[in-house]
Amino acid sequence: MATEITSGLMALAAGAAIGVSAIAAAWAEKEIGVAAVGAMAEKEELFGKGLVLTVIPETIVIFGFVIAILILTLKY
């Protein structure tokens, strides 16, 4: 029984790690993406720079993902 609760909690924790970080990244990317599209409407050459700026917050999800995997592979 104890094992089941532990593994359940671990699954939840892993889910939270990736879920919350994904929400955070999405939020940040939304703000930047809006500005980037606005800038691109004015000046098309800004696509590359706009893309770079938009995807910067994505790293947060990668961190969340790595943490999630670490949690799931923990030995208890």
Partner 1 sequence: MLTPYQMSSVIITGPNNILETIIKELHNLKVLHIVEHSKNELADIGRPLDKAGELSDALVKIRALISTLNIKNEGEKIELKKDFLEIESTVKKLSQEVNSNLEDFKKVDDLISKSTAVKQELDILKHIDVPLEAFAHYKSLARFTGFVQDKNKAKSIQTELSRLSEKFILFDSPVKRKNFIALFVDSNIKEKVNGVLQKNGFSPVIFTAIGNLEGNTSNNLKKIEEETAKLHNEREKLRMRNESLTQEYKGFLLTAEELLSEQLEMAEAPLMFASTQRTFLIRGWIPTEDLHKSIDRLNKVGKGSVYIQFEPAKKKDKVPVKLKNPKIAKPFEFFLDLYSMPTYKEIDPTFFIFLTFPIFFGIMLGDIGYGLTSLIVFWLLKRKMPKARNFFNVLILASFVSTLFGLFFAEFFGFEIYHPVVGREHEIFKMLFIVLAIGAAHVNIGLIVGFVNIYKDHGLMAAVYEKASWIVLELGVATLALSYFKKIEIHPFVGAVFLLLSFLMLIKGEGIKGLIEFISMGIFTNILSYARLMAIGLSSVVLAVIINDSATEFFHRGGFFILIGVLILIVGHTINIMLGLLGSFLHSLRLHYVEFFSKFFHGSAKKYQPFGAVQE
Which parts of this chain interact with partner 1 (CB under 8 A)?
Answer: 47-49, 51-52, 55-56, 58-59, 62-63, 65-66, 69, 73
Q: What are the angstrom distances between the C-alpha of 73 and each of 22, 29, 69? A: 21, 30, 6
| Smaller CB separation from partner 1, 13 or 46 | 46
Burial class (CB in 10 A: 0-12, 13-18, 19+), 39: middle
Q: At what angle do helices 2-42 and 47-55 cross, to 10 degrees?
A: 160
Tokens of 44: 């098309």
Q: Smallest gap, in angstroms, from Cβ of residue 72 to partner 1?
A: 9
Q: Which is nearer to partner 1, 5 or 48 (CB)?
A: 48
Of residues 24 and 65, the one with the C-beta less far from partner 1? 65
Residue 54 beta carbon to partner 1: minimum distance, rounded to whole angstroms: 9
